Chains A and B, each alone.
Chain A
Amino acid sequence: MKHFSLCLAFGLPLMAADPVESDFYKITTFETPKETAMEVGAIDLLPDGRLIMGTRRGEIWTVSGAGSSDPSAVSYKLFASGLHEVLGIAYNPKDKNIYATTRYEITRLQDVDGDGRADVFDNVSDAWGVSGDYHEYAIGSRFDKAGDLWVTLCLTGSFSSVTPFRGWALRIKPDGTMVPTCSGIRSPGGLGFDAEGEVYYADNQGPWHGSCTLQHLVPGSFQGHPGGNEWYALAPNMGGRPIDPSPENYQGDNKRREARQGGDPGRMVKERQRIKQLLPPAVYLVHGKIGNSASAIICDTSAGKFGPFMNQLFIADQSHSNLSRVFLETVNGIKQGVVFPFRLGFASGLIGGRMDGEGRIFTGGSDRGWGARGGKPYCFEKCEWTGKTPFEVHEMRAKPDGFELTFTQPIDPKTAGDLKSYSMREFTYAYREAYGGDEIDEILPTIIAAEVGAEGQSVRLKISPLTKGHIHELHFEGVRNRAGHPLLHTVGYYTLNEIPAK
């Protein structure tokens, strides 16, 4: 008792428990209407503060009161039902209508008589194929900075594309014209924009993907999976069809499930040089550690209302029921960056997500078909900042000789400047047809120096060697802030597609 008061008197911190995620970001789980299963597929914002939400069961709901501090204030109204699976939804401020991306159609919905239920369902575009295979999901975006809608189309199954443009990203113009935009898509889980309006999608581990990835959709690019490349014949605007990956990257026999003898020679970093349209993934969302099934891409555009991570991206995961955080930069014209764990503990698999103007992330989904750690069959939740800033690595930038880290709070120079506070391993995945793959080609570099920045909130790490094309996994367990607290998350995975010259 006496000791306790002495501590308070001197203002020293008590042996406080290490920080936990819920200290900084709160998850609220909403009740949803009992007459349905609210398997959230996509969310967008309406100008009056309501949300518009599409579900796997083909329903569209408007949601009121989800921003209230009292979760029981939420209410739902059914706007439309009977659509073929809604995995993209967008409010168009120009015509004030709702655009839904369904399996084979982008539908514009209008409520003409103002009764809160859609009456007119117009086909905006049905210009891609549908074969009846369950795997052919269509993930749709919001309106981009040009006023277009994007849709990324899953292959038929994991390996091939039996109907036009499965395995592609398409843009739909305001007049309904469909423009083939990127090839090489495998199994998209989410589609979103960064703070500049650049478009990204999340792809899933599988053939040609050792891990889930966050990929930059640059028009004209080939994103890695050659399964849909025959549709270049229908896309003259895309130019010539890319050459295929080297034959030794394919499985023993395409129809059999044989692993190729002799190892996995294919590497993204090498094949990029041969296949000129091939764009490497911006960030590998390291399999099993960050997640197993990346989905929604949510940009923090709240200018500080969601904490210190303005303009960074949050990636949801359907398998791990979590959100991860991505910081991106452009090096030699290529997007690359780092992914950090951010928040675990959502109630089901997450599929759709959106941040509102007040810095609240609304998200939800289901575990149906592949399972999820959350445990519930479906959920609708929000994630809000508590107002308390976590101690985290803020940004990680590649340098010619290492990395520069900035932090969300002033760091303790002693621990931050101590080489023993850090460790790094580098690895990559094979770029090959066989499904998924191990972390391979491991390199354990030396951390040569850790120079704390003059402002006391950054560290420049000198590391050798740096390996182009590898994921650089950095642990920073030893770093403390001025108050002596450890970092909330102590690992980051940086995908080093390019090493900057300066």
Chain B
Amino acid sequence: MIYLRLILTILLPLLLGFSIVAVIYREKTISFLERFALAWGIGLGILGMSIFTLSLFGVRLTLIISALPSLFLTISLLIFAIVRKYPIYNLNSVWKELKGLENIFTQPNHPRTLAEKLLALLIILITLYVFFDATVKPIVNFDDLWRQGCIARIIYVKGEIINEQTTELAGGHPYLNPISQAWIYFGIGEWNDALGKIVFAIYFLTLLMVFYAGVRRYTDRFHSILFTFLLTTFPLLVYHAGTAYSDLMQTFYYTAGVLFLYHWFNSNNNLTLISSALIIGLGIFVKQLGTPLWLILLFVLGLYLAVEQKRQFQPLGKYFMLSFLVSLPWLVNSQSFILNYGLIFWHKLFPVANGPAVAAVITAPYGPPNLGGIVSQIWRRMYFYADWQILWFVLPLSLIFSWQKFWSYHFKYLGLILVFSFLMMVYGFTEQNAYTYLVDGTLVQRMMMYQVPLALLIIAVTTKTLFAKK
């Protein structure tokens, strides 16, 4: 019975997401894998944001109350889509894609198809493993227990999101993660922290889907399967899918946001721009870092428009407005990154008596941060740990030997996003507290996780000619 309730609980955000994607894409076809991934990301994001907004108005949360706005929106959009004859999911395309995937296993054996079969099998195995790992054990890790999981339980027990207990626990962290877990508890009617983590396993699956479909747009099937397999070889990514930390969620929103923006660079299809804006906007509600990552994308989009589109900045305005509006309830909250850091920055410029503390300096055993120390620490973590295998070695290698490709397909903008993200990391670690987390290894690999699928995409597309069939 509990598993049936769990499935129904997962279905609502998925259905909401499917109906939103149906209305965005209308008659246009979109890969089922992308449609599913977008539906999950957007559906759960909008559901979470609507629950958060209800809570801001002082509504006590229950299953029915939490579900009502999403249910209303889903039904309205479904009716709209059905009346307009938009495919909610294109059955033909689903069938075609499933047939295509099935073909991997039915094609006659020669080395290439054999490799495809093997890699696809490994990807399926690791996905099954992730679902097992997430749902078999209760939450056991530090932040799971202390922050995200605890806030989720408070939301479930008290029916409110913002209160003294949760704001103390959350600090400046947004609430999509705990709300998602609390939504599962509401749905199954009990605090079952093992089943609550199914959310993160689904994010892992959708990350693989959106990555595979993204790479598939530019390369052949073997290449896409190979690089999706390589994405599953990162131990930290797989481990996080079995915990309740927010980093995998953030990785999904950021990767999907960047991928759809990149698709827009290459296709000028406005629907991919809308998808990117929606998904990166919802990413602001996952972690504090969601905001600077969003700002980086805005900046790179601005640069792209200035250089490639003769300063036609309307898409930037639309992109900004859509991503801003979708995360508005959080952005105007006093805990949000922009208001918090904006205020601190303002008081740095114009100091006043009794203003907020600029930064609490803790006594750390590592001495004050310096640029050389920060860079060498990040370098060490990139190259000598198992977290990202040999990704950061193969990336420059592929760029050296396929450098011509880097200048086609607008790769330079993806490169810029990577560079700005690393600069943001370096800047972030110049603060004493953050520097401590860099040296003791608490934060740096988790921050790097957001960039990893992007770096892998660059390798996949730059090296595609190497693997082309003769």
- A and B interact: no
Mark A residues whose CB is within 8 Å of B. none
